[in-house]
Amino acid sequence: MECCPDAQVVRLDRLFTTTGADFVQANFVQADAARLPFRDGTFDAVVANHCLEHIDDVDAALCEIGRVVRGNGAFYVAVPDGSSLTDRLYRWIYHGGEHVNLFRSAEELAARISAATRLELVATRVLHSSLFFLNGAIFKPRPPRRLWLFANGNLRAIALLTYALRLTDRALGTRLSVYGWAFYFGCVREPVETAAWTNVCVGCGVGRSAEVLRSNRLLKGWLFFPRFYNCPTCGALNLFTPD
Protein backbone atom coordinates (compact mmCIF):
# COMPACT_ATOMS: atom_id res chain seq x y z
CA MET A 1 0.00 0.00 0.00
CA GLU A 2 2.90 2.39 0.67
CA CYS A 3 4.09 2.05 -2.93
CA CYS A 4 0.55 2.35 -4.43
CA PRO A 5 -1.45 4.76 -2.26
CA ASP A 6 -4.22 5.05 -4.88
CA ALA A 7 -4.67 1.30 -5.31
CA GLN A 8 -8.08 -0.14 -4.54
CA VAL A 9 -7.46 -3.31 -2.55
CA VAL A 10 -9.94 -6.18 -2.30
CA ARG A 11 -9.28 -8.86 0.31
CA LEU A 12 -10.87 -12.26 -0.08
CA ASP A 13 -11.22 -15.12 2.36
CA ARG A 14 -13.56 -18.08 2.64
CA LEU A 15 -14.15 -17.21 6.29
CA PHE A 16 -14.98 -13.82 7.73
CA THR A 17 -12.63 -12.60 10.42
CA THR A 18 -13.16 -9.75 12.82
CA THR A 19 -9.50 -9.44 13.74
CA GLY A 20 -6.78 -7.49 11.97
CA ALA A 21 -6.04 -3.97 10.86
CA ASP A 22 -8.76 -1.61 9.61
CA PHE A 23 -7.52 -1.68 6.03
CA VAL A 24 -7.91 -5.46 6.06
CA GLN A 25 -11.60 -5.08 6.90
CA ALA A 26 -12.19 -2.66 4.04
CA ASN A 27 -13.37 -4.17 0.73
CA PHE A 28 -13.56 -7.62 2.26
CA VAL A 29 -15.21 -10.31 0.11
CA GLN A 30 -16.19 -13.67 1.57
CA ALA A 31 -15.91 -16.28 -1.17
CA ASP A 32 -14.24 -19.52 -2.23
CA ALA A 33 -10.97 -18.97 -4.13
CA ALA A 34 -12.01 -21.71 -6.54
CA ARG A 35 -15.10 -19.67 -7.57
CA LEU A 36 -14.15 -16.00 -7.55
CA PRO A 37 -17.10 -13.58 -7.82
CA PHE A 38 -15.30 -11.19 -10.18
CA ARG A 39 -15.39 -10.55 -13.92
CA ASP A 40 -12.53 -11.58 -16.22
CA GLY A 41 -9.54 -9.25 -16.07
CA THR A 42 -10.77 -7.26 -13.07
CA PHE A 43 -7.44 -6.88 -11.27
CA ASP A 44 -4.05 -5.38 -12.13
CA ALA A 45 -2.39 -7.63 -9.56
CA VAL A 46 -3.20 -10.54 -7.28
CA VAL A 47 -1.30 -11.34 -4.08
CA ALA A 48 -1.43 -14.83 -2.56
CA ASN A 49 0.75 -14.37 0.51
CA HIS A 50 1.06 -17.56 2.58
CA CYS A 51 -2.31 -18.88 1.40
CA LEU A 52 -1.98 -21.47 -1.41
CA GLU A 53 -0.95 -24.06 1.16
CA HIS A 54 -4.36 -23.60 2.83
CA ILE A 55 -6.61 -23.89 -0.25
CA ASP A 56 -8.39 -27.22 -0.87
CA ASP A 57 -8.69 -27.03 -4.67
CA VAL A 58 -5.53 -25.11 -5.44
CA ASP A 59 -5.55 -25.78 -9.20
CA ALA A 60 -9.09 -24.42 -9.54
CA ALA A 61 -8.11 -21.38 -7.49
CA LEU A 62 -5.08 -20.75 -9.71
CA CYS A 63 -7.25 -20.95 -12.83
CA GLU A 64 -9.62 -18.43 -11.28
CA ILE A 65 -6.75 -16.09 -10.41
CA GLY A 66 -5.52 -16.36 -14.01
CA ARG A 67 -9.03 -15.42 -15.17
CA VAL A 68 -9.53 -12.35 -12.94
CA VAL A 69 -6.06 -10.84 -13.38
CA ARG A 70 -5.48 -8.77 -16.53
CA GLY A 71 -3.40 -10.17 -19.36
CA ASN A 72 -0.64 -7.69 -18.54
CA GLY A 73 -1.19 -8.03 -14.80
CA ALA A 74 1.00 -9.43 -12.04
CA PHE A 75 0.68 -12.29 -9.56
CA TYR A 76 2.73 -12.69 -6.37
CA VAL A 77 2.88 -15.96 -4.45
CA ALA A 78 4.64 -16.83 -1.19
CA VAL A 79 4.43 -20.39 0.12
CA PRO A 80 6.33 -22.57 2.60
CA ASP A 81 8.64 -25.30 1.35
CA GLY A 82 6.84 -28.38 2.69
CA SER A 83 10.14 -30.23 3.05
CA SER A 84 11.77 -27.52 5.18
CA LEU A 85 12.44 -27.85 8.89
CA THR A 86 10.46 -24.66 9.45
CA ASP A 87 7.26 -25.96 7.87
CA ARG A 88 7.57 -29.37 9.53
CA LEU A 89 8.02 -27.67 12.87
CA TYR A 90 5.04 -25.39 12.23
CA ARG A 91 2.80 -28.33 11.34
CA TRP A 92 3.96 -30.27 14.39
CA ILE A 93 3.37 -27.42 16.84
CA TYR A 94 0.01 -26.45 15.31
CA HIS A 95 -1.21 -30.02 14.61
CA GLY A 96 -1.15 -29.54 10.84
CA GLY A 97 -1.68 -25.80 10.92
CA GLU A 98 -4.37 -26.21 8.21
CA HIS A 99 -1.66 -26.69 5.59
CA VAL A 100 -3.55 -28.94 3.17
CA ASN A 101 -1.01 -28.63 0.34
CA LEU A 102 2.70 -29.42 0.66
CA PHE A 103 4.92 -27.94 -2.04
CA ARG A 104 8.37 -29.49 -2.18
CA SER A 105 9.79 -28.21 -5.47
CA ALA A 106 9.98 -24.55 -6.47
CA GLU A 107 10.34 -25.49 -10.15
CA GLU A 108 7.33 -27.79 -10.18
CA LEU A 109 5.14 -25.32 -8.33
CA ALA A 110 6.16 -22.40 -10.56
CA ALA A 111 5.38 -24.47 -13.67
CA ARG A 112 2.02 -25.48 -12.19
CA ILE A 113 1.11 -21.85 -11.46
CA SER A 114 2.24 -20.69 -14.89
CA ALA A 115 0.18 -23.38 -16.63
CA ALA A 116 -2.96 -22.57 -14.64
CA THR A 117 -2.76 -18.77 -14.76
CA ARG A 118 -1.07 -18.41 -18.17
CA LEU A 119 1.32 -15.91 -16.56
CA GLU A 120 5.04 -16.19 -17.10
CA LEU A 121 7.41 -16.60 -14.17
CA VAL A 122 9.71 -13.58 -13.94
CA ALA A 123 11.53 -14.15 -10.64
CA THR A 124 11.89 -16.55 -7.72
CA ARG A 125 13.21 -15.71 -4.30
CA VAL A 126 14.15 -17.88 -1.33
CA LEU A 127 12.49 -16.75 1.90
CA HIS A 128 13.94 -17.36 5.35
CA SER A 129 12.13 -17.91 8.62
CA SER A 130 12.56 -16.49 12.10
CA LEU A 131 10.37 -19.22 13.66
CA PHE A 132 8.24 -16.42 15.08
CA PHE A 133 5.30 -18.80 15.14
CA LEU A 134 6.97 -20.35 18.22
CA ASN A 135 6.37 -17.14 20.18
CA GLY A 136 4.66 -18.27 23.37
CA ALA A 137 2.64 -15.04 23.57
CA ILE A 138 0.65 -16.08 20.48
CA PHE A 139 -1.05 -18.91 22.34
CA LYS A 140 -4.06 -18.21 24.52
CA PRO A 141 -4.61 -18.99 27.31
CA ARG A 142 -1.21 -20.74 27.48
CA PRO A 143 1.41 -22.31 25.16
CA PRO A 144 0.99 -26.02 24.30
CA ARG A 145 3.17 -28.63 25.98
CA ARG A 146 5.13 -29.11 22.75
CA LEU A 147 6.50 -25.60 23.20
CA TRP A 148 8.31 -26.74 26.35
CA LEU A 149 10.99 -28.00 23.97
CA PHE A 150 11.49 -24.40 22.83
CA ALA A 151 11.77 -22.65 26.20
CA ASN A 152 7.98 -22.21 26.23
CA GLY A 153 8.23 -19.78 23.32
CA ASN A 154 10.64 -17.34 24.96
CA LEU A 155 11.59 -14.86 22.20
CA ARG A 156 15.26 -14.62 23.15
CA ALA A 157 15.59 -18.39 23.10
CA ILE A 158 13.96 -18.48 19.65
CA ALA A 159 16.31 -15.73 18.46
CA LEU A 160 19.23 -17.87 19.62
CA LEU A 161 17.81 -20.95 17.87
CA THR A 162 17.31 -19.15 14.54
CA TYR A 163 20.82 -17.74 14.83
CA ALA A 164 22.20 -21.27 15.34
CA LEU A 165 20.25 -22.53 12.31
CA ARG A 166 21.60 -19.72 10.11
CA LEU A 167 25.16 -20.35 11.26
CA THR A 168 24.74 -24.05 10.48
CA ASP A 169 23.45 -23.17 7.01
CA ARG A 170 26.50 -21.01 6.38
CA ALA A 171 28.95 -23.62 7.64
CA LEU A 172 27.42 -26.76 6.14
CA GLY A 173 25.34 -25.49 3.20
CA THR A 174 22.10 -26.79 4.74
CA ARG A 175 18.65 -25.12 4.44
CA LEU A 176 17.59 -25.24 8.09
CA SER A 177 16.57 -21.56 8.22
CA VAL A 178 14.67 -21.57 4.92
CA TYR A 179 10.93 -20.89 5.03
CA GLY A 180 9.95 -21.27 1.40
CA TRP A 181 9.73 -19.25 -1.81
CA ALA A 182 8.30 -16.10 -3.31
CA PHE A 183 7.32 -16.16 -6.99
CA TYR A 184 6.62 -13.21 -9.26
CA PHE A 185 4.52 -13.83 -12.38
CA GLY A 186 3.35 -11.67 -15.26
CA CYS A 187 4.15 -8.01 -15.81
CA VAL A 188 6.00 -6.73 -12.75
CA ARG A 189 6.82 -3.10 -13.39
CA GLU A 190 9.31 -2.57 -10.58
CA PRO A 191 12.70 -4.27 -10.17
CA VAL A 192 12.36 -7.49 -8.17
CA GLU A 193 14.68 -8.13 -5.23
CA THR A 194 15.78 -11.76 -5.61
CA ALA A 195 18.55 -11.89 -2.99
CA ALA A 196 17.77 -13.98 0.08
CA TRP A 197 17.55 -12.02 3.34
CA THR A 198 18.49 -14.22 6.27
CA ASN A 199 17.75 -11.65 8.97
CA VAL A 200 14.04 -12.06 9.67
CA CYS A 201 12.69 -10.60 12.90
CA VAL A 202 11.77 -13.13 15.57
CA GLY A 203 9.09 -10.81 16.93
CA CYS A 204 7.18 -9.71 13.81
CA GLY A 205 8.57 -11.69 10.84
CA VAL A 206 9.84 -8.64 8.91
CA GLY A 207 12.96 -9.44 6.85
CA ARG A 208 15.75 -6.95 6.22
CA SER A 209 18.88 -7.14 4.14
CA ALA A 210 22.22 -7.20 5.93
CA GLU A 211 23.13 -4.09 3.93
CA VAL A 212 20.11 -2.13 5.21
CA LEU A 213 20.89 -3.13 8.79
CA ARG A 214 24.49 -2.00 8.36
CA SER A 215 23.79 1.24 6.48
CA ASN A 216 21.15 2.31 8.99
CA ARG A 217 23.61 1.67 11.81
CA LEU A 218 21.23 -0.71 13.53
CA LEU A 219 23.89 -3.30 14.39
CA LYS A 220 25.29 -3.40 17.90
CA GLY A 221 27.90 -5.66 19.44
CA TRP A 222 29.93 -6.38 22.48
CA LEU A 223 33.23 -8.17 22.78
CA PHE A 224 32.79 -11.95 22.26
CA PHE A 225 29.02 -11.49 21.80
CA PRO A 226 27.43 -11.87 18.34
CA ARG A 227 26.29 -8.70 16.63
CA PHE A 228 22.62 -7.99 17.20
CA TYR A 229 19.90 -5.47 16.38
CA ASN A 230 16.57 -4.38 17.78
CA CYS A 231 13.85 -4.60 15.14
CA PRO A 232 12.75 -1.07 14.12
CA THR A 233 9.21 -2.40 13.67
CA CYS A 234 8.58 -4.29 16.91
CA GLY A 235 11.70 -3.77 19.04
CA ALA A 236 12.52 -7.49 19.39
CA LEU A 237 16.17 -8.46 19.83
CA ASN A 238 17.65 -10.41 16.87
CA LEU A 239 21.10 -11.87 16.36
CA PHE A 240 22.69 -10.80 13.09
CA THR A 241 24.12 -12.94 10.29
CA PRO A 242 25.56 -11.68 6.97
CA ASP A 243 23.43 -12.58 3.93
- Which 8-state DSSP code applies to residue 215? H
- Reported in sequence order, the residue ranges of the chain that DSSP labels E, i.e. its strands, are 11-13, 28-30, 43-49, 69-80, 121-128, 178-186, 199-200, 207-208, 228-230, 237-239
Distance between CA atoms of residues 72 and 119, nearest Å = 9
Query: Judged by CB under 5 A, does residue 131 bind Zn ion?
Result: no
The amino acid at residue 51 is: C
CB of 65 to Zn ion, least distance (A): 30
CB of 213 to Zn ion, least distance (A): 12
Q: Binding segment for Zn ion among 43-51, 92-100, 178-186, 197-205 (CB under 5 A)?
A: 197-205
Pairing state of beta strands 178-186 and 121-128? antiparallel
Q: Binding segment for Zn ion among 46-54, 128-136, 167-175, 234-242 (CB under 5 A)?
A: 234-242
Q: Which is nearer to Zn ion, 186 or 205 (CB)?
A: 205
CB of 93 to Zn ion, least distance (A): 20
Q: Which is nearer to Zn ion, 180 or 203 (CB)?
A: 203
Binders of Zn ion: how many residues, by CB under 5 A? 7
CB of 234 to Zn ion, least distance (A): 3
Distance between CA atoms of residues 62 and 56, nearest Å = 11
| CA 34 distance to own-chain centroid | 22
Query: Judged by CB under 5 A, does residue 204 bind Zn ion?
Result: yes
- The correct pick among 43, 62, 203, 229 for binding Zn ion (CB under 5 A) is 203
- The correct pick among 30, 105, 216, 233 for binding Zn ion (CB under 5 A) is 233
Query: Judged by CB under 5 A, does residue 231 bind Zn ion?
Result: yes
CB of 200 to Zn ion, least distance (A): 9
Q: Which is nearer to Zn ion, 117 or 198 (CB)?
A: 198
Q: Which is nearer to Zn ion, 17 or 233 (CB)?
A: 233
Angle of helix 58-68 relative to helix 106-117, nearest 10 degrees, comes to: 50
CB of 189 to Zn ion, least distance (A): 29
Q: Which is nearer to Zn ion, 83 or 230 (CB)?
A: 230
- Is residue 33 within 8 A of residue 61, CB to CB? The reply is yes
Q: Binding segment for Zn ion among 65-73, 96-104, 195-203, 217-225 (CB under 5 A)?
A: 195-203
Query: Judged by CB under 5 A, does residue 201 bind Zn ion?
Result: yes
Contacts for 30-39: CB closer than 8 Å, 24+ residues apart: 33/60, 33/61, 33/64, 33/65, 34/60, 34/61, 34/64, 35/60, 35/64, 36/12, 36/64, 36/65, 36/67, 36/68, 38/68, 39/68
Which residues of the chain form contacts with Zn ion (CB under 5 A)?
A: 201, 203-204, 231, 233-234, 236
